[in-house]
Amino acid sequence: MRELVDGLRKGLRTSRNSIGKFSVDHNAPETLAPLTEPADMIIVLSPCHPWEPIKVIEDWNEPIHCLICGDKFLV
């Protein structure tokens, strides 16, 4: 039975219609987190080494470290 339920849960990841009744039975929260959501990346040029582009997430707000010298800079 256990294997059956596990199999069903895996299947449910893709079929949302029947997810409700099983997650209730099984105490499985619907953690269909945005894991698969692709982050938008942009290319940033560091001021010190602009020939070495760095890819960062589009809404990145933290300092970025240069890949060459490790200097921090903000976008």
Residue 49: CB minimum distance to Zn ion, A: 4
- The residues facing 65 across adjacent strands are 72
- State in angstroms the smallest separation of the CB of 50 from Zn ion: 9
The binding site for Zn ion (CB under 5 A) comprises 48-49, 66, 68-69, 71
Nearer to Zn ion, 56 or 71 (CB): 71
The CA R_g of the chain, rounded to the nearest whole Å, is 21
**Residue 72 beta carbon to Zn ion: minimum distance, rounded to whole angstroms:** 10
Nearer to Zn ion, 25 or 52 (CB): 52
C-alpha 68/C-alpha 45 separation (Å) is 11
The values of phi and psi at residue 54, to 5°, are: -120, 135
